[in-house]
Amino acid sequence: MSIVVENIEYTYPSGVTALNDVSLKINKGTYIAIMGANGAGKTTLIKHFNGLLKPTKGKVLVNEIETTTRSVAEMAKIVGFVFQNPDHQLFLTTVEEEIKFGPTNFDIPEDQIQKDMERVLMFLNLKNLLKRSPFSLSEGERKRVALASVLVMNPEILILDEPTMGQDAIQKRNIAKIISELNQQGRTIAIVTHDVEFVAEYQPRVILMGDGRIIADGEAKDVLTNLEAMAQTKLRPPQITALAWEIAKQEESFPKDLISITEMKTKLLGLG
């Protein structure tokens, strides 16, 4: 088991309760998407996974370690967190310094740091940017540098907050490929996203949140075509699903639970 959340509540110092009796289990090697409208509690929830926030009530266990018993720095060895805005994570003068910062502060031997850095640079195609300032790079490149600075620590669990925001179609495909490869390596991946179309195409497990609670949890196909649950979170179903419903008005046997382009293509070819 990677992450176990048991009946947690979280109230900010302002008095706003952002999480209310939330429980879930995320098994090792799972890829999940946490979705919902602004203010649903998504980011508050994932900040509990690495101890950035501690529950007001209940508990969070990561690899059977209760997060309240460890510092954020200690949890960073297990849980890597990539912020929505890379500029909230980057602060040094070169890409190389950014990537080396974490392992250097954990007293990892220099030869091991170099080896891990080379691996991450190749994986994220950043080698030619090593001596550049992160702040001279494009947003997509800065996002990759922020991810590299986390991956170099070899975390078992990776949390990505809105990884596709501001990215074009090509970058989204690259992000999907990176996530898929990391997941295939055995890492547990959790993303927070509003991007219904991205989730529909790649179909991770979906946790739908609203008003600080979990409204639905299951396969992407089941959750994204649950009209009642989607309406509660003010999210629209995928465009492919909407198209399937329209076709079903003319062809009653046409399935209404399609969510990806690939599924739609297969079904449309079958009509001929």
pLDDT of residue 271: 65
pLDDT of residue 35: 96
Contacts of 157 (CB under 8 A, 6+ apart): 2, 3, 49, 62, 78, 79, 80, 187, 188, 189, 190
Separation CA 153–CA 113 (nearest Å): 9
Domain spans of the chain?
Answer: 1-73+190-234, 238-272
pLDDT of residue 169: 85
Separation CA 7–CA 20 (nearest Å): 8
pLDDT tens string 126-181? 889 989 999 998 888 888 899 999 999 989 999 999 998 878 888 888 889 889 99
3-state secondary structure of 35: strand
pLDDT of residue 252: 85
Polymer length of the chain: 272
Separation CA 139–CA 87 (nearest Å): 9
pLDDT tens track of the chain, all 272 residues? 689 999 999 999 999 999 999 999 999 999 999 999 988 999 999 999 999 999 999 999 999 999 999 999 889 889 999 998 888 888 889 999 999 998 888 888 888 989 989 988 888 888 899 899 999 988 888 888 999 999 999 899 999 999 988 788 888 888 898 899 999 999 999 999 999 999 999 999 999 999 999 999 999 999 999 988 998 998 999 999 999 989 988 888 889 889 988 889 888 887 65
Spatial contact of 78 and 60, defined as CB atoms under 8 Å apart: no
Q: Which CATH architecture has domain 1-73+190-234?
A: 3-Layer(aba) Sandwich (3.40)
